[in-house]
Amino acid sequence: NNPYPAADAGRHILYTAFTDRPKHLDPVQSYSEDEITFTAQIYEPPLQYHYLKRPYQVVPATARDLPVPAYSDSAGKPLPTNADPARIAYTDYVIRIKPGIRYQPHPAFAKRADGTHAYHALAREDLAKVRDLGDFPLRDTRELTADDYVYALKRLAHPRLHSPILGLMGEYVVGLAPLAKALQDHQKSLPEAGRQEWLDLRQFPLQGAQVVDAHTYRIRIKGKYPQFLYWLTMPFFAPMPWEADRFHGQPGMAEKNLTLDWYPIGTGPFMLTENNPNSRMVLERNPNFRGETYPCEGEDEDREAGLLADCGKPLPFLDRVVFTREKE
């Protein structure tokens, strides 16, 4: 009665189930438990949790180290770490990401021999026979950069996206609320036909998110808000390459569900290779994953339970995860 293919016997495949159809896989819109099952395997915010330490501890993910908050007053003068919170006008987080991290293979990065992107200027007729992402034969990758994190932060303010944290983050990230207003005004200024075209956020500055160099960026927030460090563990703050936004933002893509809500792109251990949320979803190992090892630290109870037996082994252990929908 084994329901699985004989060819898969002995492979590192996890068969599991999901009950609720994920509505959003775009990191700026996704905010539910059934969605994080998938997005947490694909997107990589700069920070993550060490889940075997109690209480849970924030540790680097793509970041080289934990950012240390730097405080300043309204005149820009630096303040000590023990300064009165009433004097703190701004907090700066400088985040340094590890070099050499690469995205999963994706057609958005594919280029022709002349160096131009192969799929960034598609006409509707080019999409006539396209049903899913696998119908684009060319794929490539590139290195993760600080620009990708800044671009992702700007997407929180995108006028055609509805991020559940825009209101809250608009109160803290310097310039985010004005950016949202500027993008809305820009959208209204466009002719009706142009309001659904790709919006290049690289053309709009965000005062509170600045690229320092290729692997370093700075986020400035208002006042003192220690909880911000924990926000940096969430997919809202995961990177987004402009190429993927450009690729999926072309006319005709949404009609075929060729969107970031349907096909997430990231640097994490897995990539979504099959998306049929009414029946089956499949994650497969990302061949470009930067690599991590299983933790060696934990509680005594973890050691007794055998949860530290895999100390130092390379992650992920699985090659594939097959989710089958089981409706209640």
Q: How confident is the model at residue 10 (pLDDT cuts 50, 70, 90)?
A: confident
For residue 63, pLDDT beyond 80: yes
Mean pLDDT of 214-218: 98
* Model pLDDT for residues 271-319, shown as the tens digit of each residue: 999 999 999 999 999 999 999 999 999 999 999 999 999 999 999 999 9
What does residue 217 show for φ and ψ, rounded to 5 degrees?
-140, 160
Q: Which of helix, strand or coil describes residue 257?
A: coil
Task: Identify the helix (H) or strand (E) that includes residue 245.
Answer: helix 242-248
Q: Most confidently modeled of 1-15, 90-104, 194-208?
A: 90-104
- DSSP for 164-215 reads TTHHHHHHHBTTHHHHHHHHHHHHHHS-GGGTTS---GGGS--TTEEEEETT
HSE-up of residue 280 (Cα within 13 Å, Cβ side): 6
Q: What would the mean pLDDT of 184-189 be, rounded to a whole number? A: 94
Neighbours of 323 (CB within 10 A): 21
User: Using CA atoms, how far apart are residues 216 and 259, in angstroms rounded to an integer?
Assistant: 28
Question: What's the whole-model pTM score?
Answer: 0.96
Is the pLDDT at 30 greater than 90? The verdict is: yes
Round the average pLDDT of the chain to a whole number and report it. Answer: 95
* 290, burial (CB in 10 Å: exposed 0-12, middle 13-18, buried 19+): middle
The residues with which 276 forms a beta bridge, in sequence order, are 280
Give pLDDT, residue 67: 98
Amino acid in the structure at residue 294: Y
Q: Is 131 helix (H, G, I), strand (E, B) or coil?
A: coil
The span from the CA of 126 to the CA of 51, in Å, is 46
Helix, strand, or coil here: 301? helix
Q: Is the pLDDT of residue 11 over 80?
A: yes
Tell me the H-state helices in 43-195. 146-155, 166-172, 176-189
Pairing between strand 57-60 and 47-50? Answer: antiparallel
Above 80 in pLDDT, residue 58? Answer: yes
User: Hey, what are 178's tokens?
Assistant: 């004005």
The pLDDT tens digits of the residues spanning 141-182 come to: 999 999 999 999 999 999 999 999 999 999 999 999 999 999
Is pLDDT of 52 > 80?
yes
User: Structure tokens of 237?
Assistant: 């703050």
Residue 194 has pLDDT above 80, yes or no: no
pLDDT given for residue 260 in this prediction: 96
Say how many C-beta atoms besides its own lie within 10 A of residue 243's C-beta: 22
Q: How far apart, in Å, are the Cα atoms of 310 and each of 57, 58, 80?
A: 20, 21, 42
**Cβ neighbours for 312, distance < 8 A, ≥ 6 positions apart:** 293, 294, 296
Query: Nearest-CA neighbor of 61 among 84, 44, 78?
Result: 44
Q: In sequence order, which residues have a C-beta less than 8 Å from that of residue 147 and are 6 or more positions away?
A: 211, 214, 217, 242
